[in-house]
Amino acid sequence: MAIGNSTLRDELRLFETNRHKWLLSHQDKFVVISGTTVAGFYPDFPSAYCAGLAKFGFRDFLVKQVCAEDPVYVIY
């Protein structure tokens, strides 16, 4: 799948580069990233999303859970 937004590509690259390091101290928390800026780690998605809005407004930002493997969801 091609990602058209270069910022999202950069955010996902930053996440993957740091995933193993973040697993040591932030496992299962949600990280907020915009561009190359990490805004913090939060205990749940709503907290992370609200923090992202407060810090970045309506600019693009990524909220992603720090897990060893990304969950796979199947919708029937």
Look at residue 73 in the predicted model and tell me its pLDDT: 85
**Mean pLDDT calculated for residue range 22-46:** 97
Look at residue 5 in the predicted model and tell me its pLDDT: 54
Q: How far apart are CA 30 and CA 46, in angstroms?
A: 9
Helix (H) or strand (E) holding 65, with range, is strand 62-65
> Is it the case that residue 4 has pLDDT exceeding 80?
no
pTM (two decimals):
0.85
> Is it the case that residue 39 has pLDDT exceeding 50?
yes
Dihedral (Cα; 17, 15, 35, 50), 10-degree rounding: -160
Look at residue 29 in the predicted model and tell me its pLDDT: 98
> Is it the case that residue 63 has pLDDT exceeding 70?
yes
Give the start-to-end residue ranges of the domains of the chain: 6-65
Return the structure tokens found at 69: 């493997």
